[in-house]
Amino acid sequence: MQSADEAQPQPSRASRWGLDALNFLMADVRDGVGPYLSVFLKGGLHWQSGEIGIAMAASSIAAAICQIPAGLILDAMRAKRLLVGISGLVVGLGCLLVVCAPKLVVVVSVQAALGAASAIIPPALTALSLGIVGRKLFPARVSRNESFNHGGNFAAAVLAGMVGQGLGYHWIFYLVCFFALPSAGVVALIRPHEINHAVACGGADQDLSIDTSKAKEARTIPIAEVFQRRDLIIFLISVVLFHFGNAAMLPMAGQVLAKTHPGADIIALSACIISAQLVMIGVAAAVGWAMRKGVGRKTIFRVAFVILPIRGFLFRLTDSPWGVVAIQLLDGVAAGIFGVISIIIAADLMRGTGRFNFAQGLVALSTGLGAAASNLLSGFVVQFFGYTIGFVTLAAIAVSGLIFFGWLMRETKPPEGFNPNLSLQEIAT
C-alpha cells in the first residue's frame, strides 16, 4: 500500500524557492515591529509601563481571537497564497499608522488589526509547506523554514538597529513596510497546482491499492472530537504556560535599557535580536537533526522549558546592555526549539484527522493567550513592584509550566516503523 506522500510529485524549484523567500521576508512582517514597539513607546513617547502592556497585549489578544477562524479557513479554503499576501500588506499599512498617529487608541486599534492579520501567516506558511512537500519531508521542511525565518529576523534586526540608531525609532516601522511589499509578491512563485490541499490540512494517507488515480479523502473529524483529545489539551496548556513565562521578558529588558541607558536602547535591543536569531538558525537545524536521530519531541521541548526560568533570574541581576544581549542568547535556544517542535507535535497529534490547520490555530491561540497574559501581567507588576519582581514572576510561571508538561505530556514521536531519516539536503534538491 502506497501513501499520499509517495504518490505526491516532487515540488518544483520555483515552489521551494517561494517557500524559502516567504519564510525569509515574512519573518519581519508576521510579528509587526515586535519588541521595538515597546522601546518606541517607552523611549520615544515616554508612555507608562501599564499603557505599554495594554498596547503590546492588544496584538496578542486579537491574534488569539483570530487563530481558530484562521485554522478553519485554511482547512476549508484553497486560496492560501492570497491570504498570505493580503495579510502581509495589512501589517505593513498598520505599521505606517502607528508612526503617523501614535495615540493610545490608535496604537491599540492598529495592534489589534496587526494581530488579526498576522494570525493567518504562520499557519498558512506551514500548511503550504505540508501540502507541497508531503508528510515525510515535512520535519526537514519545517527546520528549513525556521532557519530562513530566523535568517530574515537577523537581517531585519541588523537593518532596524542601523536605521533606528541613525535615523530614529519611526524608521523601524518603515522597515516593516519594506519587507511587506516583496513578501506579498513572492507568493506568486509557489505553483498552486503543486499544493496537495488534502495533505495540507492533515488528511489521512491515500489508499492506492484500489485505484491509483484517485485519493481516498480522510474523514475530517468533528471539532468537538478534537477537544476530546487529552494529549492535545495538555499540549495547549503547556504552550500557554511557555509563552506566559517567556513573552514579556525581552520587552521588559528593553524597557530597562530605555530607562537606564537612554540612547543605547535601540542598538542593544537590535543586538539582542540579532544574536538570538543567529542562535535560532543553528537551533532549528539542530532540532531537525535530533529528530532524525530519534530524540523524542517531549525531550526536545523540555530543554526549551528549562531555559526560561534561568533566563528570567539572570535578567533580574543586570541592566548592562551587554549583559542583556548575552542572556538573550538563551532565548535563541528556547524560541528556536519551540518554533520547530510545536509544529511537529501538532502534526503528530492531528495525523489523519483533517484538522491540522485547526490545531495550528489552537496552538497559536494558546501562544497568543500566553503572550497577552505575560505582557499584561508584567506591565502592571513592573509598574507597582519593579522590574526585579516582574522577572521573578515570569520565571516562576515558567517553572510551573515545566512541571506540568514533564508530568502529564506523553511522547508523540511516531513508532519505530516510521522512517524519519530525511536530510535537509534531500528537501533542498
pLDDT in tens, 227-240: 888 999 999 999 99
Distance CA 141, CA 340 (A): 10
Q: For the chain, how many helices (H) and strands (E)?
A: 19, 0
Instruction: Give domain status of residue 426, yes or no.
Output: no
Is residue 76 in a domain?
Answer: yes
Decide if pLDDT at 323 tops 90: no
Residue 271's identity, in one-letter code, is A
Structural domain includes residue 196: yes
Distance of CA 9 to the CA centre of its chain: 29
C-alpha cell at 385: 513592584
**pLDDT at residue 18, rounded to an integer:** 85
In the chain, what percentage of residues exceed pLDDT 90?
12
Range of the domain at 96: 8-201+221-410
Q: What is the pLDDT of residues 165-181, one digit of tens each?
A: 677 777 778 877 777 77
Could you tell me if residue 392 is inside a domain?
yes
**CB-based contact 87:120 (threshold 8 Å):** yes
- Rounded CA gap, 241 and 43, in Å? 29
This prediction has a pTM of 0.72
Q: What is the mean pLDDT of residues 366-385?
A: 85
What pLDDT, on a 0 to 100 scale, did the predictor assign at position 240? 95
Residue 140 lies in a domain: yes
In a domain, 415, yes or no: no
Gap between the Cα atoms of 47 and 49, Å rounded: 6
196 vs 409 pLDDT, higher one:
409
Predicted local distance difference test score (pLDDT) of residue 155: 80
User: How many whole angstroms separate alpha carbon 240 and alpha carbon 252?
Assistant: 19
**3-state DSSP call for residue 212?**
coil
The answer to whether residue 369 is domain-embedded is yes
Q: How far apart are CA 8 and CA 163, in angstroms?
A: 45
Whether 99 shows a pLDDT value over 60: the answer reads: yes
Assigned domain for 416 exists: no
Tally of domains in the chain: 1
* Cell matching residue 297: 519531541
According to the model, what pLDDT value does residue 112 have? Answer: 85
Residues 6+ apart with CB under 8 A from 131: 80, 195, 196, 197, 199, 200
**Predicted pLDDT at 55:** 81
Highest mean pLDDT among 36-40, 186-190, 265-269, 339-343 belongs to 339-343
Contact 191, 109 (CB under 8 A): no
Q: Which CATH number characterizes residue 69's domain? A: 1.20.1250.20
| Average pLDDT over all residues of the chain | 79
C-alpha cell at 183: 513578501
Alpha helices by DSSP H, 168-296: 170-186, 197-200, 223-226, 230-244, 249-260, 265-292
